[in-house]
Structure 1
Amino acid sequence: MRKASRLFEIIQILRLADHPITAQQIAEKLEVTQRSIYRDIAALQAMRVPIEGERGIGYILRPGFHLPPLMFTAEETEAIVLGMALTKRTADPELREASARVMDKIAAAVPGPLREAIVSRSLYAWGRVAETPEAIDFSMIRRAIRDEEKLDIDYVNEQQQATTRRIRPIAVIHYAEAEVVVGWCELRQGIRNFRVDRIRDCRATGVHFRREGDRLRKLWVAGWETGTKS
């Protein structure tokens, strides 16, 4: 987690807390060292964020401190609620956890009437919760897409033919029945869709395709190859 994001997360944790939170508790939530939290809190205090407390006892955020408000209409808030409900049904465990954190942050920031739309749970997304695949790590795939890093995958197609591919991942599609990774396949020299449940292994390569991602996504959208070619 980048420092800027971590500082924001610390503020959010303290805003939502109703009692002092120790540096160790914050460190466990953010999966960093306790020493990092001490440095981050000192940095926030230097920025005049009103954090009070001390080591071994805990920290609180003095009332009256506000981040810039999130301004949503009722319809926009309901769209977010439904979107997060759908995210909770995907096979990506990190996104499922992130959706819950999003709702907590929005609930803490929006005015009372809009908060009701979040906590009332009046919108639902029915259907199965997708099973998390054992052979791949969704967080690695999403990171590879952001960083434009090539992946090596062991793939079995619909005819049960096994191949090893090097792909340039550009998108993930979440269908009701399956997840699909979209990428430029160097074996087939074209954009292909790979069903996650047919990927037997997925490995980061450390080889990048910098500044190609947007071009490949435009090529994909232009052709709308929505099948599961292999």
Structure 2
Amino acid sequence: MRKASRLFEIIQILRVSRAPVTAADIAAQLEVTVRSIYRDIAALQAMRVPIAGERGIGYILRPGFDLPPLMFSVEETEAIVLGMALIERTGDRDLQKASERVVAKIAAAMPEPLRQAMTSRALHAWGGSAPAPEGAEFKSIRTAIRDEEKLSIGYRDEAGVRTSRTVWPLALIYYAGAAVVVAWCELRQAIRNFRMDRLESCSPTGDYFLKQGDRLRAAWIAGWRINQPASDRPVST
């Protein structure tokens, strides 16, 4: 086990324990030597992590110490880093800025060398970024999905035909080249997909479809599961 991983795990063990934990007990859980645990405890104390105790008696984490990011293991932290990197490939600028703040907040709360898992930039999501749409903002659509507010859109289809519609936004799908809004279309009386880069206008209506979103999303998911090729469907056991 890498040292950074052990430091995470030692703090977690002490966080959940209601009594002092000996170095021997910690070593047994992490499958390392007791001497390694002594060194790690000393390193954490040097980072001002408030661990009290001594050899032969046990260690505790003093009350009031709370670092929420340390609920994550190193691999979980790396998953967050990679997830944030994938957001960089979307055209959603607000989410891109939010992802940078997420990484900064978690890294700032971590003592060295734990923050290295966040700041080493050893994980990357390769590929081009989708262009930001011109006729609509991701933020307004995400807000409408959360608030279950209908949107008035001007849409240009693949053939260039323009229509005006009122839609009930249900989901956003981020593809490598473009994003798609999944919505109930009042014009077609069905669930339809609208490419963000073909939206020429998009504005809230002040009209709502409250308590309908979950039902419509369930119908949408059921529909694409039914239409999924048999070879791609999960096998029931």
User: Shorter-chain-normalised TM-score: which range?
Assistant: 0.5 to 0.7
- Which structure 2 residue ranges, 5 or more long, are not aligned? 1-63, 228-237
Aligned counterpart, 2:31: none
**Partners of 1:169 and 1:182 within 8 A in 2:** yes
Structure 1: how far apart are the matches of 2:129 and 2:194? 20
Q: Deviations over 1:51-96 (max 9, x none)?
A: xxxxxxxxxxxxxx86552210111111100000011121111001
Q: What residue identity is the alignment partner of 1:94? A: D
Aligned counterpart, 2:184: 184
Structure 1: how far apart are the matches of 2:153 and 2:83? 30
TM-score, length-scaled by structure 2: 0.65
Task: Tell me which stretches of 4 or more aligned residues in structure 1 moved more than 4 Å.
Answer: 65-68
Q: Which has the larger radius of gyration?
A: 2
Aligned counterpart, 1:57: none
- How well do the aligned residues superpose, as a CA RMSD in angstroms? 1.9
TM-score, length-scaled by structure 1: 0.67
- Which structure 1 residue ranges, 5 or more long, are not aligned? 1-64
Q: CA deviation at 1:190?
A: 0.8
Q: What residue identity is the alignment partner of 1:69? A: P
Q: Which is worse superposed, 160-169 or 111-120?
A: 111-120
Establish whether residue 118 from structure 1 lines up as the match of residue 118 from structure 2: yes
Secondary structure of 1:224's partner? helix
Aligned counterpart, 2:77: 77
**Partners of 1:150 and 1:205 within 8 A in 2:** yes
Q: Deviations over 1:111-155 (max 9, x none)?
A: 544411111100001111222122111111010000000001111
Aligned length in residues: 163
Aligned counterpart, 2:106: 106
Structure 2: how far apart are the matches of 1:148 and 1:72? 32
Aligned counterpart, 1:165: 165
**Partners of 1:150 and 1:209 within 8 A in 2:** yes
Q: What residue identity is the alignment partner of 1:124? A: H
Secondary structure of 1:145's partner? helix
Aligned counterpart, 1:207: 207
